[in-house]
Amino acid sequence: MAVVLSAERLRCVRDHRCLFSNLSFQVSRGEILHLKGPNGAGKTTLLRGLVGLTTLVEGRIHWFPQDSSDDEKPNEKIWYIAHRPAVTLLQSPLENLRYSLTLHGIALPEADLWQALATVGLLGYEDVPSHQLSAGQQRRVGLARLFLPVEDQISIWVLDEPLTALDVSAVHQLKERILTFAGRGGAVIMTSHHGIDSDAVRSLDLEEAG
Amino acid sequence: MTLTAVIQGIMRRELQLAFRRRAELLNPLLFFLIVVSLFPIGVTPELARLSEMAVGVLWVTALLANLLSLDLLFRSDFDDGSLEQQLMANVPASLLVLVKVVTHWLVTGLPLTLMSPMLSLMLALPSEAIPLLMLTLALGTLTLSLLGGIGAALTVGLRKGGLLLTVLIMPLFVPVIIFGTGAVSAFIDQLPWLGHLALLAAMVTGSLVLAPLVTVLALEIAVED
């Protein structure tokens, strides 16, 4: 399978503490990399380093190493769901969803947006300002992105604790969706304190690796 | 999606958010109105003396009013995590920042400029100077928004950045205010004024090009941690 990310000898020192060092791994299409480790092990920092939001992670991070073009911009192919869900509270779920597509320069028919919102159970709330929604519903607004049919444009998901604040059925639904996405050739790098079981899942424990 | 469509989408969101936060955006305008109308009451009602200081009062108040609204520029996007997504976006981040700043000017600097003729009557500014006053204020507030964006970006990561923002940005505002008031005063005194205006326009052009780039660097530092 095609390698989409190769990371070599990653190292992160924060506040004079070495979180991990000499960490090397590869992620291929169809694979789910599950980062594990106790709180403060550097999982979030690693993810932020991978998408280029922080320079605290040193080492060589190479997205799409097999693509010949060096100027390949990886971010346009990534959905990054961060700790802070990037849900603008003054905007409705529909507007939030449309904006994240706009930032990626993807145009989709309205019906697809509605379909994604319906899947995460926000139908009937699409025009309500997001600050009137519950914490779990706000998480779902952010996660609705993952249910959009954009596999052609987005081939990588970087998910930071996507399963927090969700109820049992939503956790199940999202896990299924992650497995489907990987099954269709997507690559997922995620952190979670929930287990996710499948042949496609590979675990990486930051504590052991560090 | 073409770049134009993306920029339109970004601008639409910024305007929408501004409209939904209109109470906060009304603050600078009310500040402008109140401070300027306090001068005839507090200093002197004599029209001759008021008209001497009219340009200065209008400019200083507009500058302070602009300063009041700067913190809104990136704060909420930083807090909810949208800023990270914007920096990762498909469009160049500096272009996105430029759109944000110009929208900020449309909802603060432009209304301030449009209010100024009414307030200049209160300060007995010679009426033939009003068009030039409006032009300099329009250019000036745009420069202030652009330069202020740098300060707002530098302090967005701090919990209480308000005072620091003022201290950081004030020195950058000084040349703008010198040439802004200089142009209008020179016009009133029937001296050559085009030079002042040209320098002010140069500052706008310079900051239109450079300020977004610096702002992006500052934002990248802010989201770093």
Size of interface A-B (CB pairs under 8 A): 86
Task: Give the pLDDT score at B97.
Answer: 96
Q: In what order do the strands lie in the sheet with A17-28?
A: A17-28, A3-14, A57-63
pTM above 0.80, yes or no: yes
Task: Give the pLDDT score at B151.
Answer: 93
Whether the per-residue pLDDT at A71 is higher than 70: the answer is: no
Across the interface, whether the CB atoms of A76 and B90 are under 8 A apart is answered: yes
DSSP symbol at A124: T
Structural domain count, chain A: 1
Across the interface, whether the CB atoms of A100 and B91 are under 8 A apart is answered: no
Which chain B residue lies closest to A49 (C-alpha atoms)? B224
Task: Give the pLDDT score at B113.
Answer: 96
User: Which ipTM did the prediction report?
Assistant: 0.89
Of the two residues B24 and B136, the one the predictor is more confident about is B136
Task: Compute the nearest-CA separation of B97 from chain A (Å).
Answer: 13
Across the interface, whether the CB atoms of B89 and A52 are under 8 A apart is answered: no
What one-letter code names the amino acid at A147?
F
Q: pLDDT (tens digit, 9 = 90+) per residue, A95-153?
A: 999 999 999 999 999 999 999 999 999 999 989 999 999 999 999 999 999 999 998 88
Write out chain A residues lying below 8 Å of B91, CB-based: 103, 105
Task: Give the pLDDT score at A96.
Answer: 94
Angle made by CA atoms B74, B77, B82, in degrees to the nearest 5: 135
Task: Give the pLDDT score at A210.
Answer: 54
Q: pLDDT (tens digit, 9 = 90+) per residue, B136-195?
A: 999 999 999 999 999 999 999 887 777 888 888 889 999 999 999 999 999 999 999 999
Report residue B14 as tokens.
């910024």
Task: Compute the nearest-CA separation of B90 from chain A (Å).
Answer: 5
Task: Compute the nearest-CA separation of B133 from chain A (Å).
Answer: 36
Whether the per-residue pLDDT at B19 is higher than 60: the answer is: yes
Whether the per-residue pLDDT at A72 is higher than 70: the answer is: no
Task: Compute the nearest-CA separation of B46 from chain A (Å).
Answer: 47
Whether the per-residue pLDDT at B87 is higher than 70: the answer is: yes
Across the interface, whether the CB atoms of A98 and B6 are under 8 A apart is answered: no
Task: Give the pLDDT score at A28.
Answer: 92
Across the interface, whether the CB atoms of B85 and A105 are under 8 A apart is answered: no
Q: What are phi and psi of B65, to 5 degrees?
A: -65, -40
Q: pLDDT (tens digit, 9 = 90+) per residue, A37-51?
A: 888 888 999 999 999
In which band, very low, low, confident or very high, does the pLDDT at A209 lie, cut at 50, 70 and 90?
Answer: low
Write out chain B residues lying below 8 Å of A75, CB-based: 88-90
Across the interface, whether the CB atoms of B90 and A104 are under 8 A apart is answered: yes
- Of A54-63, A195-204, B122-131, B179-188, give the lowest mean pLDDT range: A195-204
- Print the domain residue range for A196: 3-209
Report residue A81 as tokens.
């769901």
Mean pLDDT of B212-219: 96
Distance CA B69, CA B152 (A): 10
Task: Give the pLDDT score at B160.
Answer: 76
Q: What is the CATH number of the domain that holds A39?
A: 3.40.50.300
B21: nearest CB among A83, A85, A90: A90
Mean pLDDT of A64-70: 70
Task: Give the pLDDT score at B167.
Answer: 87
Write out chain A residues lying below 8 Å of B6, CB-based: 102-103, 105
Across the interface, whether the CB atoms of A80 and B84 are under 8 A apart is answered: yes
Tell me whether residue A1 is exposed, middle or buried, using C-beta atoms within 10 angstroms of its C-beta: 0 to 12, 13 to 18, 19 or more: exposed
